[in-house]
């Protein structure tokens, strides 16, 4: 194995073609490899039976067949949620969660080890920022679970980029991962089946709007005024709500696509009638939907998720103002399936690095 051998999942089809060309091999060989990786979901060189044994040996000298290794897997009592902690080549860990609802198989993937934003209520945020994931490390999470499902004759139906980290601070690797998973000759996972969640990095939302992708956009709002939002999400001081709302309106105008706003309901904090009214005012006439989730309790954050009564009252107030909203179920709470909760137990806390 040559020292600098890349992770095969970091390469797109034309990069693979260049490697084959440099080995004096025809381009169709790269397509065969691509199909083996993303259609057959083969994991090791030995499985690539479309290549001769010497060819497989040559191949394994030039590329690594993946770098993630599952370290721990937990299943919720109801069996609907599976969470895997993966070890990366540098011994850092990330987590990925598979949620099964009726016919849906939704995978929640990570884009960073830790996160530099440091939201008060988030286990990943409390961990600090360690590094960005490569495009290959993002892709491998999906391929690992696609293989797991294939063994049961099932397939992933949706991928939500809502695991550890802020995807819009690792923009290029995240988009490259989407492009590779979307490739029609490979995994062929439609853009509309991805949802990317951001805390609202304004220049990146603008860039995303200009690209007019079919990927769904979710914005983590959690508060409707700057004072409260800044206590929950420190980045709000840099990108205040008014500016964020403006860029959301621009996004909808440019793309014609609906935005989902995420709201983790925290008892007696952001679940008040005043917050609901303020939110309804901000979202009036906007092509959007509000996803309400009760806060997942985490160590080191003293607040609780809202109870049913307050959750219901909050939604009623939004609906009374003609804002569409859905209360999402908290899944896998018994296995710490909330963002970053498992990995943060296995990684020593690190101080946050400066934002951006
Ligand atoms: N950084 C991105 C995506 C990862 S976080 C973002 O913030 O949008 C994915 C979602 O989980 C966000 O909406 C985030 O606010 C939410 N979240 C984080 N910690 C939570 C908790 N303890 N309870 C409920 N939701 C939480
Ligand atoms: Fe980062 Fe999102 Fe967690 Fe905030 S909620 S710390 S942006 S991962």
Q: Distance between CA atoms of 181 and 175, rounded to whole angstroms?
A: 10
Residue 189 Cα to ligand 2 midpoint, Å, equals: 26
- pLDDT confidence tier of residue 4, bands split at 50, 70 and 90: confident
134 & 208 share domain: yes
CB 95 within 8 A of CB 132: no
Report which bound ligand comes closest to the CA of 233. Answer: 2
- Mutating to test ligand 1, I would choose from 264, 271, 355, 356 the residue with most ligand atoms within 8 A of its C-beta, which is 264
Is 342 among the domain residues? no
Lowest mean pLDDT among 99-103, 115-119, 139-143: 99-103
Q: Cα angle at 176 between 51 and 49, to 5 degrees?
A: 10
The CATH number covering residue 27 comes to 1.10.150.530
- Per-residue pLDDT tens digits for 177-195: 999 999 999 999 999 999 9
CATH code at 243? 3.20.20.70
Cβ of 94 less than 6 Å from ligand 1: no
Q: Is the pLDDT of residue 1 over 70?
A: no
Residue 23: per-residue pLDDT:
87
Domain limits for position 214: 69-335
Question: 62, 79, 104 — which closes off a domain?
Answer: 62
41 within some domain = yes
Tell me, yes or no, whether 39 and 180 share the same domain: no
Task: Read off the pLDDT of residues 262-304 as tens digits, 9 standing for 90 and up.
Answer: 999 999 999 999 999 999 999 999 999 999 999 999 999 999 9
Are 160 and 14 in the same domain?
no
Say if residue 57 is in the same domain as residue 170: no
How many angstroms separate the CA atoms of 194 and 215, rounded?
A: 5
Q: Which helix (H) or strand (E) holds 313?
A: helix 308-320
Residue 356, domain member (yes or no): no
54 and 82 in a single domain? The answer is no
Average pLDDT in the chain:
92
State pLDDT tens for residues 196-231: 999 999 999 999 999 999 999 999 999 999 999 999
Domain count, the chain: 2
Active-site residue flag, 95: yes
Q: Quick one: 142 and 254 in the same domain?
A: yes
Of 145, 286, 297, whose CA–CA distance to 224 is shortest? 286
Q: What is the mean pLDDT of residues 308-326?
A: 97
Stretch 148-165: mean pLDDT: 97
Q: Is 296 in the pocket of ligand 1 (CB under 6 A)?
A: yes
Mean pLDDT of all residues in 232-236: 98
Classify strands 216-220 and 194-198 as parallel, antiparallel or unpaired: parallel
Report pLDDT for 256: 98
As a whole number, mean pLDDT of residues 63-90 equals 95
The answer to whether residue 326 sits within a structural domain is: yes
Residue 335 is predicted with a pLDDT of 60
* Domain-located, residue 347: no
Residue 351 lies in a domain: no
**117 ligand 2 Cβ < 6 A:** yes
**What is the tens place of the pLDDT at every residue in 47-60?**
999 999 999 999 89
> pTM, whole model, 2 decimals?
0.94
Q: Which of 108, 119, 288, 339 is catalytic?
A: 339
* Same domain, yes or no: 227 and 203: yes
For residues 223 and 200, state if they share a domain: yes
Q: Do 40 and 92 share a domain, yes or no?
A: no
First to last CA, the chain: 36
- Mutational test site, ligand 2, from 124, 218, 223, max ligand atoms within 8 Å of CB: 124
Higher pLDDT, 328 or 309: 309
- For 26, the token pair is 């025809």
Q: Probe ligand 1: pick from 94, 110, 117, 122, max atoms within 8 Å of CB?
A: 122
Q: What's the confidence (pLDDT) of residue 349?
A: 34
CB 158 within 8 A of CB 8: no
Of all residues in the chain, what percent carry a pLDDT higher than 90? 86
In a domain, 106, yes or no: yes
Contact 266 CB / ligand 2 (< 6 Å): no
Indicate if ligand 1 lies below 6 Å from the C-beta of 130: no
Please state the rounded mean pLDDT for residues 229-249: 98
Instruction: For residues 120 and 235, state if they share a domain.
Output: yes
Find the catalytic residue in 95, 137, 140, 262: 95
Q: Is 10 in the pocket of ligand 1 (CB under 6 A)?
A: no
Closest ligand by atom to 266 CA: 1
> What is the rounded CA–CA span in Å between residue 239 and residue 352?
19
37 falls within a domain: yes
Q: Are residues 285 and 305 in the same domain?
A: yes
The answer to whether residues 218 and 90 belong to one domain is yes
Atom of ligand 2 nearest to the CA of 124: 3
Q: Which residues contact 41 (CB under 8 A, 6 or more apart)?
A: 143, 146, 147, 150
């Amino acid at each position: 194995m040559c020292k600098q051998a890349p992770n095969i999942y970091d390469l797109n089809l034309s990069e693979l073609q260049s490697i084959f060309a440099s080995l004096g091999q025809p381009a169709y060989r790269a397509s065969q490899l691509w199909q083996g990786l993303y259609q057959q979901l083969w994991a090791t060189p030995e499985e690539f039976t479309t290549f001769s044994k010497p060819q497989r040996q040559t191949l394994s000298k030039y590329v690594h067949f993946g770098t993630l290794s599952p370290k721990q897997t937990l299943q919720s009592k109801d069996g609907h949620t599976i969470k895997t902690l993966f070890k990366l080549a540098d011994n850092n860990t990330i987590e990925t969660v598979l949620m099964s609802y009726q016919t849906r198989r939704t995978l929640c993937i990570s884009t960073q080890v830790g996160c530099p934003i440091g939201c008060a209520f988030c286990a990943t945020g409390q961990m600090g920022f360690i590094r960005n994931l490569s495009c290959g490390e993002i892709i491998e999470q999906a391929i690992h679970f696609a293989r797991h499902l294939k063994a049961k004759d099932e397939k992933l139906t949706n991928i939500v980029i809502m695991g550890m980290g802020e995807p819009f601070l690792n923009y290029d690797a995240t988009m490259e991962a989407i492009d590779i998973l979307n490739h029609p000759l490979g995994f062929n996972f439609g853009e509309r089946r991805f949802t990317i969640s951001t805390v609202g990095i304004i220049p990146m939302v603008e860039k995303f709007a200009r690209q007019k992708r079919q990927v769904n956009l979710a914005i983590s709002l959690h508060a409707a005024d700057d004072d409260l939002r800044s206590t929950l999400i420190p980045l709000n001081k840099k990108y205040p709500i008014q500016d964020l709302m403006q860029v959301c309106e621009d996004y909808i105008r440019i793309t014609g696509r609906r935005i989902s706003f995420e709201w983790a309901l925290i008892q007696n904090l952001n679940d008040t009638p005043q917050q609901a009214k303020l939110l309804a005012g901000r979202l009036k006439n906007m092509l959007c939907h509000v996803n309400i989730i009760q806060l997942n309790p985490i160590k080191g954050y003293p607040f609780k998720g809202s109870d049913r009564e307050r959750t219901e009252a909050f939604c009623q107030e939004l609906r009374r103002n003609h804002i569409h909203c859905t209360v999402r179920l908290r899944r896998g709470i018994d296995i710490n399936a909330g963002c970053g909760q498992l990995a943060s137990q296995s990684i020593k806390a690190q101080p946050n690095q400066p934002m951006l």
